[in-house]
Structure 1
């Protein structure tokens, strides 16, 4: 039986662990909170982060990272800003193992994406990223989901694709991790902007325009960063963008709606797009990349610009060809 380790018992890590265990893998799910682990062991579910789905018998929660060292691959389902410090502290545990990032964003600390962080911290590991249009609740319920698995090493990517695909989790392989991870990161920024549009009452036509121009920004930034031109047209870019900008299951979209409505948002909810907007706006300024939507989102988040002023600034940009 194949053995999979999952680091991070949030909603997405838990959902992946359940899906893989349901498909016959031996899965170990790590959480840092021993009390949380004890609750999961006792109840055979993760009521804190993913209420409802029951753990298959082959899913074992643990608070001991050493329990993951015999895994055929380890999925790193941590918030983006935690990935770099986590691997820095635990590189000796994971270096040499196949490591698959399951987070979306850009590090505020280094400006790197997930696979670059893995490569630097664990140079003897094979790095990959699993990304695309998906909600943890759907995966946990066994609903069909398609994702992109990107690994620069084609042979290793094929092995991981076979290892991690299930009857309801269909993985499409790519050798462009830069494009895949930037698609997943940048769409969260656009989703915040789309939420602002809807929250401010600007309508679906404005959201459609925002998504279209946001996708152009995503491609521009990704290609400037070395991504293949067509990568973002797939699941990890356009597919993820459509889902995240049109569903209130998306935390980034809900956060944007709260901003647009002038409402408070639960600070306990991780909104990856907020950190990504700041990082991308900084990098775009450094590299002279035109990213008006990301720049406006970052300015609104930092309270340097009101929602009304941001909308006016975008609408008053010079007219040009599409």
Structure 2
């Protein structure tokens, strides 16, 4: 039986632990808070994130990351993207020499503008070929309820991608392999920013035309950045691109869309954080994505306006005017 560690007991980490156990893995979840670890271990629930989910018997939990990692063939990283480097500095010495590291994170590191797979390879001192990215329209609550879904397993090493594919194939989740790690990661990171814009548009009372525009033009700027970084343009038409973007923008389960709605109603960043009790990943990532785009000379107007709303206090209505007032050009 494959032994797996899931480092992070949030919604997606918890749902992913269920997926792996249902696929036949022996899973240990690392939870930062003792109460969460105890609930998973003793009651097979995570009351803070997915209280309705009853975890399989193949899932246990600990507050000791080293205990979770030791002996694991698959090490799943499901922590906030901006804490990843620091976490791996503490954990990397315990990771098995040929373990596969799986990234569930969808962000860009502030300061370095590196993708999560790059941070993992660097901080854990492992070759790129040992890092696998899982990305797609994967809202945790729906997957926990075993609603049919699909995802992408991306890795430069096809054999390792197929290994992870097998480890997460269930009757309710269908994974596809892909060699385009860059495209899959960028699709997952930028869609969070576009979902903030979508949420703002929804709160401002705009209809389907506006929301369709946000999705399609958001996809266009995601693809522009991806191509500049060497991604396959076709990736953005697939699950890790358009699929993830549509799922995150359209669902009220999406943290980024919901956070954007609070901003669209005129709340400050601090008020939105207090209302949602967490910061959406896109709020931090929009800074790093803006810097990455500027470094490569790529125009990303929606991302730029989201960054201004989030971090400069710009009124979302003024941001809309700035986007609509741009000079016209061919699509």
Q: TM-score range by the shorter chain?
A: over 0.9
Which is worse superposed, 44-53 or 15-24? 15-24
Aligned equivalent of 1:78? 79
Q: Does the 8 Å contact 1:255/1:271 carry over to 2?
A: yes
1:61-140 alignment to 2 at 5 Å? Answer: 61-67=61-67, 68-94=69-95, 96=97, 97-124=99-126, 126-140=130-144
Instruction: Give, in whole Å, the separation in 1 of the partners of 2:16 and 2:80.
Output: 15
Instruction: Give, in whole Å, the separation in 2 of the partners of 1:61 and 1:109.
Output: 33
1:155-234 alignment to 2 at 5 Å? Answer: 155-234=159-238
Q: Does 1:319 align with 2:320?
A: no
Shift of 1:232: 1.3
Q: Does the 8 Å contact 1:132/1:184 carry over to 2?
A: yes
In structure 2, stretches of 5+ residues that fail to align are: none
SS in 1 for 2:72: coil
Alignment length, in residue pairs? 322
Shift of 1:54: 1.1
Shift of 1:72: 1.9
Aligned equivalent of 2:311? 302
Q: Does 1:285 align with 2:321?
A: no
Q: Does the 8 Å contact 2:72/2:95 carry over to 1?
A: no
Q: Does the 8 Å contact 1:21/1:27 carry over to 2?
A: yes
Distance 1:187 1:301, change over 3 A: same
SS in 2 for 1:71: coil
Distance 1:90 1:80, change over 3 A: same
Aligned equivalent of 2:9? 9
Q: Does the 8 Å contact 1:95/1:124 carry over to 2?
A: no
Shift of 1:123: 2.9
Aligned equivalent of 2:272? 265
Instruction: Give, in whole Å, the separation in 2 of the partners of 1:193 and 1:36.
Output: 33
SS in 2 for 1:82: helix
Instruction: Give, in whole Å, the separation in 1 of the partners of 2:19 and 2:296.
Output: 41
Aligned equivalent of 2:40? 40
Aligned equivalent of 1:29? 29
Question: Which digits, 9 at most, give the CA deviation of each residue in 1:83-116, with x for residues without a partner?
Answer: 1211122221226321000010101132111110
- TM-score, normalised to structure 1, is 0.96
Q: Does 1:153 align with 2:157?
A: yes
Shift of 1:269: 1.8
- TM-score, normalised to structure 2, is 0.93
In structure 1, stretches of 5+ residues that fail to align are: none
Instruction: Give, in whole Å, the separation in 1 of the partners of 2:168 and 2:39.
Output: 27
Instruction: Give, in whole Å, the separation in 1 of the partners of 2:107 and 2:242.
Output: 16
Which is worse superposed, 295-304 or 17-26? 17-26
Instruction: Give, in whole Å, the separation in 2 of the partners of 1:37 and 1:210.
Output: 40
Instruction: Give, in whole Å, the separation in 1 of the partners of 2:310 and 2:34.
Output: 34
Shift of 1:304: 4.7
Shift of 1:287: 2.3
Instruction: Give, in whole Å, the separation in 1 of the partners of 2:82 and 2:48.
Output: 21
